[in-house]
Amino acid sequence: MQAEQLREFIIDKADDMKARDVQVLDVQGKTDVADFMVICSGNSKTHVRSIAEHVATEAKHAGIPPIGIEGGEQSEWVLVDLGDVVLHVMQESIRDFYQLEKLWSQ
């Protein structure tokens, strides 16, 4: 699956779980880690964990197993690394604190 297709797949699966304020950052040329970052919010620890787990499970079913999943224990910020696209699912307060959109837009 191409990076653009994977990005749309992740957005769709996060939307299935009612992720809020979904943003896509094109980080090509800024990092070798990924081409895109998808950032979204959940309204509780349970919601954050559920969004991340749903995306990871659906990706596995599509033949794209995650390279790694971090933060599931605390579920304030869960990162799902799918190679060309990295998903960040965050509680609103954590997202406001770290401001990834601002950091990566520079």
pLDDT at 104 over 90: no
pLDDT at 76 over 90: yes
Confidence of residue 32 (pLDDT cuts 50, 70, 90): confident
CA distance 9 to 93: 26
Find all residues with CB under 8 Å of 84, minimum gap 6, and list them: 2, 3, 6, 7, 34, 35, 36
> In this structure, what are the phi and psi dihedrals at residue 36, rounded to the nearest 5 degrees?
-135, 150
What DSSP character marks residue 51?
A: H
Confidence of residue 48 (pLDDT cuts 50, 70, 90): very high
Domain architecture of the chain: domains with CATH: 3-104 (3.30.460.10)
Q: pTM here?
A: 0.94
CA distance 48 to 58: 16
